[in-house]
Structure 1
Amino acid sequence: MRVLRIIPTVDPAYGGPLHSMNAISEEMARSGWENEVVTLDPPNSQWLAQNPVPATGVGPGRGSVGYTSRLGQWISDNAHRFDAAVVHGVWHWASVGGGRGCRRSGLPYVLYTHGMLDPYFRQIKPFKHWIKQAFWGTQGPVLQHAHRVLFTAQQEAEAARGGFIGPKYREAVVAYGASTPPKSDPSARIASFQAKLKLTADQRYFLFLSRIHPKKGVDVLIEAFRRSAAADFGLHLVIAGPDPDDMIPELRRLAQTAGLTGRVHFVGPLAGEEKWAAFEGAEAFTLITHQENFGVVLAEALAAGTPVIATRRTNIHIELSKTGAAIICDDTSASAGQAIATFLALTEDKLAEMRRAARAGYEKRFTIRAAAQDLMAVLQEAKDTLR
């Protein structure tokens, strides 16, 4: 079966949706399914050739949503090569133009919302919500005519209901997951990463790895770290990820004001073995987010055997709690600071137990295989329904 993926970009900075799309596509290939990608990237984008799943760019588009008629035309010209499509996200032309193109061409499709219907956004930007409501007349029919609109947690699906006035859609909750570290011995890559940070063998660190964005709560994390770990001079905080909003200068000033100079490390985006080394070498993975749909990085941390400290604003916080490898808190510096203090007070035996539970929890709930199987089932259903 051949599947078309429609996504705004294959720039790695796009984050979790792209990385999971590629990992799930590679898992589907093991069952003989072929995936191909069309994006709003310009045809000469360096990311197209580097993407592990074959990708074509039909951009760039115009305006804030990236409008281009070339997307619909490309789908019309190529729809005969595919059995079904997956649209990734909302509020951009890859979603609207992609969904319209599939419908005109008779190509059945499903749509991942990737957390973009979360009511959090309505709460923090009410004016922008009404702009989205106006756009729902354009976006809503794409969801309405999808075979299924896919959510990756029951909490996400329930929270999204009734968010906009207009067309309804048929939802489904599917598994979602993350890939695993390389099977080679992690010792060498961990040592290399620690050397990059200029950390000695007895110095430890908490890790944040994600897009640096106001909703991710990096400022709250730094303050929580100051509250509970400032006196432990052997403990550091590593902040990794792209910074599209240029937040790092202000975060550096915040760390300096908190008396953490030299102990908060901004290392930029990480990929490949270096990314996995960061996970594997961390005491804990910390995501003090104000809103998170699934959080691929949380599943990756568990896959690396690393405990997590995360907030109730993460839609999978209940699933994380059930693994026995997570401490869940509110998205405030006081609550996160208490979570960090609780973690630091754990005995070595309890820490070892949490690390074992992390990997076991990943295997039970967050594997790429489970995500691929669920997606293949709903795509096969979409294809069969069209007959």
Structure 2
Amino acid sequence: MSNDLVASVSHLPKARVRRVLQVCPYMHPSAGGPPVVVKRLAENASRFGWDASILTTSLMCPDDGTELCAELSRQFEIKVLPIDRPRLFGHASKAREALDEAIRAADLVHIHTLWHPLNTMARRACQRHNVPYVLSPHGMLDPFAMSIHALKKSVYLRLIERRNLLDAQLIVFATNEERQLAGRTLGRFLNSAVVLLGADNPADGSGSVPDATVRRRFSGGADGRRVLFLSRLHPKKNLETLFRSMRLVVDSHADAHLFIVGSGERSYEKSLGDLARRLGIASNVTFAGFLRDEEKWAAMSAADVFVLPSLQENFGISIAEALHAGLPVVVGQGVNISTEIASARAGRVLCNCQSEVELAAQIVEIFEDRDLRERMGRNATRLANERFNWRETARCQYELYERTLAPGPYEPATI
């Protein structure tokens, strides 16, 4: 190549990097899966030639969002809208200004979750500035989820949220099961796709977990007798059945111990403590609270079996993390990745997740059969590595972004 040609090529304008704005009403870690998904997609943006920014609110934060903003701004361009109530109405004008500014700078907007005014404001801003958007319901259209506060959700869906869904260029589901279940609520989705979510693993920057940490926080129970529940504390997680099953487990294994990792409404946490005392298993249950990073992996490292008997779980990122940690898992049929778990023989899927007898039997079987426990653990790691990988999730999602922006009709796909 001649020097003149090299010079002319070097002065060609570089292709503009596309920008995606991730909009989620809450990004506090205690909110569960959606904040994790938003963070991992944003972290991987540059890998696929995009820039990513985040717009959220201080919902669930103990302050006005200052601490959350300081933490996340080390990695991302982020705007946290402070709110003094669970809704944005008190700060609607500021929210509109922030949305207009962020959306004008974006090529595409990805809205996460339902049932929050931020979604509608984001949709309207996208339409004002002619910016396309995609939307992820995160399981909130599941008939079980819709049955909670059913009247309020039905009215809100009809009057407000349906428009947000129907105007989206694409609805992105986490599993085929989620898409099928959502169809019962809203009907057929003309433009939809499935992108299986990823999950962190102990090697994702957490380093090795010190033995002292394990001993200090999770010393209850003898070897082969530790049960771990790690999720948001909510009635749909079916903790009452888990506690009743532990009463049966303790009858045959007095040293069995249940670690509850997570947080929820104080009144609900108190009711669970009261239930443990009534069942006579208070000394066999530890409420560890909300844990992150090394302490979370310490809990995984100390456990012998992971149990999440949820009545409904769109994906269950904590389940996929437990699989990465090599733990056999026991889950309910309402968990949308239960089919993969059963097929991989990485754990047990409950036929009746409200039967404490069945749940106790599954826990005891895993306790007492070390070969089974180790075999399930190996299968769990293999399944997680093959199916629940954030880099692959991000690759599929950014490919969908590109296809959504491509000229011509969009062809629905499953990735």
The TM-score, its normalising length taken from structure 1, stands at: 0.90
* Cα distance between partner residues in 2 of 1:312 and 1:253: 27
Deviations 1:328-350 (A, max 9, x none): 0022123322322332242x222
- What RMSD, in angstroms, separates the aligned Cα atoms of the two structures? 2.5
Measured after TM superposition, the shift of residue 139 of structure 1 is 1.1
Pair 1:310 & 2:310 matched: no
**Structure 1 contact 6–85 (Cα < 8 Å) conserved:** yes
Pair 1:107 & 2:124 matched: no
* Cα distance between partner residues in 2 of 1:102 and 1:93: 14
Tell me which residue corresponds to 2:172: 150
Tell me which residue corresponds to 2:158: 136
Gaps of 5+ in 1: none
* Cα distance between partner residues in 2 of 1:71 and 1:168: 30
- Specify the code of the residue in structure 2 equivalent to 1:362: A
Paired residues, number = 383
Moved runs in structure 1, 4+ residues, more than 6 A? Answer: 183-187
- Specify the code of the residue in structure 1 equivalent to 2:37: S
* Cα distance between partner residues in 1 of 2:392 and 2:158: 32
The TM-score, its normalising length taken from structure 2, stands at: 0.85
Matches within 5 A, 1:283-322: 283-322=304-343
Change in CA separation of 1:137 and 1:385 when aligned onto 2, cut-off 3 Å: farther
- Specify the code of the residue in structure 2 equivalent to 1:145: D
* Cα distance between partner residues in 2 of 1:202 and 1:177: 30
Deviations 1:197-255 (A, max 9, x none): 44477474111111101111111111112123443133210001112253222211211
Tell me which residue corresponds to 2:398: 376
* Cα distance between partner residues in 2 of 1:351 and 1:117: 35
**Structure 1 contact 207–239 (Cα < 8 Å) conserved:** yes
Change in CA separation of 1:192 and 1:62 when aligned onto 2, cut-off 3 Å: closer
Pair 1:336 & 2:353 matched: no
Q: Percent identity?
A: 28
Tell me which residue corresponds to 1:173: 194
Higher radius of gyration, 1 or 2: 2
| Residue 352 (structure 1) aligned to one of 370, 374, 382 | 374
Matches within 5 A, 1:90-129: 90-129=114-153
Deviations 1:13-56 (A, max 9, x none): 11111012212322333334321111122865311111243321
* Cα distance between partner residues in 2 of 1:107 and 1:185: 38
Pair 1:228 & 2:275 matched: no
Change in CA separation of 1:138 and 1:169 when aligned onto 2, cut-off 3 Å: farther
SS at match of 1:7: strand
Pair 1:57 & 2:74 matched: no
Tell me which residue corresponds to 1:278: 299
Change in CA separation of 1:345 and 1:199 when aligned onto 2, cut-off 3 Å: closer
* Cα distance between partner residues in 2 of 1:307 and 1:78: 43
Measured after TM superposition, the shift of residue 370 of structure 1 is 1.7
* Cα distance between partner residues in 1 of 2:363 and 2:178: 26
* Cα distance between partner residues in 2 of 1:110 and 1:322: 32
Tell me which residue corresponds to 2:41: 24
* Cα distance between partner residues in 2 of 1:154 and 1:78: 32
Deviations 1:293-333 (A, max 9, x none): 01111111111111111000111111221222120002212
Matches within 5 A, 1:232-271: 232-271=253-292
Pair 1:41 & 2:58 matched: yes
Measured after TM superposition, the shift of residue 71 of structure 1 is 3.0
SS at match of 1:91: coil
Question: Which sits farther off after the overlay, 266-275 or 252-261?
Answer: 252-261
* Cα distance between partner residues in 2 of 1:273 and 1:145: 42
Gaps of 5+ in 2: 1-17, 410-415
**Structure 1 contact 177–296 (Cα < 8 Å) conserved:** yes
Change in CA separation of 1:242 and 1:386 when aligned onto 2, cut-off 3 Å: farther
| Residue 185 (structure 2) aligned to one of 155, 163, 173 | 163
**Structure 1 contact 40–61 (Cα < 8 Å) conserved:** no
Change in CA separation of 1:383 and 1:70 when aligned onto 2, cut-off 3 Å: farther
